[in-house]
Chains A and B, each alone.
Chain A
Amino acid sequence: MAEKLTFSLVSPARELFSGEVDHVIAPGTDGEFGVLANHAPFMSTLKNGVVRVLEGETITMRIFVRGGFADVTPEGLTILAEEAKDMADVDASDVAAELQHTREELLKHPEGDGQHGALAETVAYLEALHEAAAA
């Protein structure tokens, strides 16, 4: 593949990746999509899931994003993640423990409680992360 795609992934905490790659697959709200060089201008919201970076046919990097946006312009792809974790740094058992803990917390805050919504969202996020880590 001759042409490279300029790709950057940033979260409010830091810039996780910036550079040239062959192919990026991102979890869009309406389904996964892949971006190659010279993609048409495109913008999508993202759901919780794994962004995969490919060089040729091999996956070189897996980054878990907790919602966000992908913006494809003629200049490249920018992913703005609410929260992002390099899957290489994620330990499945830690996530499982945190998930367990958050689920217990959720039981303490029934529906209607101010914290219920936020906790339920966290559980959904952790479940997705756990699934991705186990895969």
Chain B
Amino acid sequence: MPSLKDLKGRIASVKSTQKITKAKQMVAAAKLRRAQEAAEASKPYARRLADVVANLTSAMGEGAGGPKLLAGSGDDKVHLLVVMTAERGLCGGFNANVAKKARIQIEELRAAGKTVKIITVGKKGRDMLGRDYGDLFIDHVDLSEARDSFTPYAIGLGQELAQRFEAGEFDVATLIFSEFKNVLTQTPVTNQLIPATAPDDAETIDLSGAIYIYEPSEEDILETLLPRYLNTQVLSAMLENAAGEQAASMTAMDNATRNAGELIDSLTLQYNRARQAQITKELIEIISGAEAL
């Protein structure tokens, strides 16, 4: 039986923990709104760019060579995984889910005899995967300094991917990140970046019969378009990830605050019982002392 003083100490410490989790929850809620807005705002551009890419590729037809970013290197031996996680913890299973998805993917690729290389974005993924797959890391993107805009980081990573691909360092690049479905659900998803694929839901317009006019030329357009498409995909993944992180953090901190509340209630009950027991004991001692006289 813990003493009254111990119980009091524990109640105080749980209370201060609750204050912290509550504050973190409110911070996450505020940040979530901004992150969500940013993610929403970038969607029209990403969607339309995907439509344009889909149009172009369908207009070019199957098997028509095209730039390497679209057609691939003609091989699929070396796979590059870009694993996106958060910079910070305290957001429930958010990072662990992405890491789990990455692990499954890595094992599958290895079982199929492919070579795997990894680029991590965000500190947590690096920490989680580093233990088992540290030797596969080829680079890391640190987002801890990214305050209001991920754009420079996304462009940097996009360019790096394109360069590494040109240099023949990998054949297929896949992005693993958390899709922001809503505040309660974030699902880890994979998205193949290179060779570029248009999303299935992209609207293609049937142009059979109509002739597209290209200025300057089809190749020139694709050559400038594809790197941008790559950057945009990386950017929207980063934005979705950021929104998902805040949402997960908010939910996790909400749960923690509630748990702390329950713990405080049960500790207070225990404290009151112990106090009552002590009073009763003291009374019995006084009464039996008086009776003995």
Partners in one complex: yes
Q: Residues on A close to B: CB < 8 A?
A: 8, 10-15, 28-30, 33, 40-45, 69, 71, 73-75, 78, 80, 82
- A-contacting residues, B18-71, CB 8 Å: 41-42, 44-46, 48-49, 51-52, 55-56
Name the contact of A8 in the complex, choosing from B48, B211, B225, B228 (C-beta under 8 A).
Answer: B48
Does A43 contact B210, Cβ atoms closer than 8 Å? no
Name the contact of B45 in the complex, choosing from A15, A28, A29, A42 (C-beta under 8 A).
Answer: A15
Interface assignment of B220: CB less than 8 Å from any CB of chain A: yes
Does A44 contact B214, Cβ atoms closer than 8 Å? yes
- A-contacting residues, B177-212, CB 8 Å: 205, 207, 210-212
Evaluate whether A80 and B49 lie within 8 angstroms (CB atoms) in the complex, with A15-B44, A69-B225, A74-B205 already known: yes
Among all A-B residue pairs, the 3 with the closest Cβ atoms: A44-B215, A10-B45, A15-B44
Q: Residues on B close to A: CB < 8 A?
A: 41-42, 44-46, 48-49, 51-52, 55-56, 151, 205, 207, 210-216, 220-221, 224-225, 228, 232, 235
Does A41 contact B213, Cβ atoms closer than 8 Å? yes
Whole-angstrom distance between the alpha carbons of A41 and B205 in the complex?
Answer: 11
Q: Return chain A residues, CB-CB under 8 Å to B205.
A: 73-75
Does A71 contact B52, Cβ atoms closer than 8 Å? yes
Does B216 contact A30, Cβ atoms closer than 8 Å? yes
Q: Return chain B residues, CB-CB under 8 Å to A11.
A: 45
Does A13 contact B42, Cβ atoms closer than 8 Å? yes
Q: Return chain B residues, CB-CB under 8 Å to A74.
A: 205, 210
Does A40 contact B232, Cβ atoms closer than 8 Å? no
Evaluate whether A28 and B42 lie within 8 angstroms (CB atoms) in the complex, with A73-B205, A78-B52, A80-B52 already known: no
Q: Which residue of A lies closest to B225 (CB)?
A: A69
Residue picked from B41, B46, B207, most chain A C-beta under 10 Å: B41
Known contacts A30-B216, A42-B214; 4 further A-B pairs (Cβ under 8 A): A10-B48, A12-B235, A73-B207, A74-B205
Q: Return chain A residues, CB-CB under 8 Å to B235.
A: 12
Whole-angstrom distance between the alpha carbons of A15 and B151 in the complex?
Answer: 16
Q: Return chain A residues, CB-CB under 8 Å to B56.
A: 43
Q: Return chain B residues, CB-CB under 8 Å to A78.
A: 48, 51-52
